[in-house]
Amino acid sequence: MLEKYYVRPQAVGRIRASWIASEIERYVVWLVEQGYSPGTVRCRVPLLFAFGEFARAGGAGSVGDLPAHVDAFVAERVPADRAAQLSAVAARERVKNVRGPIEQMLRLVVPGFTGRRRPVLDVPFIDELPGFFEYLRYERGLRPTSLQGYGCYLRSFERYLRRVGVTQLVELSPALISAFVAERSASVATASIGLLCGALRAFLSYAHREGVLASDLSKTVDRPRTYRLSDIPRSISRAEVSQVLACVDRSSSRGKRDYAALLLLATYGLRSREIAALTLDHIDWKRGRLSVPGRKGGHSTAFPLSSPVGEALVDYLKNGRPQSAERHVFFMAFAPVRPISPTAVSKLATRYLLTAGIQVPRPGSHTLRHSCVQRLVDADFSLKTIGDFVGHRSPKTTEIYTKVAVESLREIALGDGEEVLA
């Protein structure tokens, strides 16, 4: 395997002379299986060879001793004085590029080794109310993404209570809760404060139900006043959608993937998580149908598979999708081979909107979703039909799009507007 990446026999011989040569070769095989590029393999092998020599000089006698030498090796490769000359982001990236490959190999060859994986976030208030998130999941039926939001809001509340010296929930008071909400309101948007207050209400109501709080303090949490139709959806015109699609380099594997995903966003108004969840089983090529199961409203939708979308999917599946036993349609562009995440779908939409020079608040996948809905509104489809098409949970969600009379506004902008205003 090493001969495939190193032309000089001396280089291959030197690597195979290492006392961890078999572990390095096993890791190289794994990298190839996961779809890493030859350049990545060539960069990582010398690093692992150097780590092995460093650990041996430090007293390592077996593979099981290697984890104890990782920190010292990273400190030698990225000295503190050199890291101090870099920005915080650059310093973290430098450390990651050294530590990452070493710990990745050790997870493969050392049983039970985990390394410094991304830390698992603590469950807030788990000591006093351990069953709250099970209540949200099973009794309230909240999705995992909603549970993550609740966790984020309640962790901020937990940190606030620690900061002000509150150690038990029985010490809570309406004044204390109001002070927390007021503090968060100074740096968080009104809509987010509304979600925060909703999480607090559910938490405090559950705490009262479980007997942790003597009174139901949820009734003291006042949501900020918001108006459901106060905002205008951040949609773009059909011409701007075409402008975004034209920015995609469809000659590359990544471009084929991105073009197909953008077409799904713009044509069917799918959410990023719905695109990430698509599998090969959801495409019925024989009948020309695309199924989208498990939508936000709890139902499924079957769309006719349009020719442009079908052609883009075929191009990606044949010429861009990595080989994998997974049934997901879309995969991450970088190794290791794994299905794309909802965040990655949203980020790719953001990237192309910015590349196209489209000015829109908070660009992302929902920009193209909003554009799909607005196009249907302009075509005089009923709100019920539109809501079913894009998977709105409630018809009220669709009503906001009726605020924008795009064609009338365009006439006012292009002419004197007297006929429209008459």
Q: Looking at 97-111, 299-313, 408-422, which range is the least confident one?
A: 408-422
Please give the pLDDT value at position 144.
83
* Enzyme catalytic residues: 271, 296, 366, 369, 392, 401
Residues 208 and 245 in one domain: no
Residue 335 and residue 299 share a domain: yes
In tens, the pLDDT along 396-422 reads: 555 555 555 444 445 545 555 444 444
**Same-domain status, 174 and 211:** yes
| Per-residue pLDDT, 99 | 94
Number of domains within the chain: 3
Domain termination site, one of 162, 185, 220: 220
Q: Which pLDDT band, with edges at 50, 70 and 90, does 81 fall under?
A: confident
Residues 272 and 163 in one domain: no
Question: Averaged over 137-157, what is the pLDDT?
Answer: 90
The answer to whether residue 209 sits within a structural domain is yes
Residue 53: inside a domain? yes
Residue 178 maps to which CATH number?
Answer: 1.10.150.130
Same domain, 209 and 330: no
If asked whether residues 343 and 205 sit together in one domain, one would say no
Cα–Cα distance, 309 to 267 (Å, whole number): 8
The boundaries of the domain holding residue 99 are: 2-109
Indicate whether 178 and 152 sit together in one domain.
yes
Final residue before a domain boundary, out of 169, 194, 220 = 220
Same domain, yes or no: 360 and 387: yes
User: Looking at the structure, do residues 64 and 172 belong to the same domain, yes or no?
Assistant: no
202-230 confidence digits (pLDDT tens): 999 999 999 999 999 999 998 766 555 44
CATH number at residue 398: 1.10.443.10
Of 109, 140, 173, the position where a domain reaches its end is: 109
Average predicted confidence (pLDDT) for the chain: 85
Same domain assignment for residues 213 and 247: no
Decide if 201 is inside a domain.
yes
> Residue range 277-288: average pLDDT?
93
Residue 35 lies in a domain: yes
The pLDDT tens digits for 2-12 are: 778 887 888 88
Pair 51, 179 in one domain: no
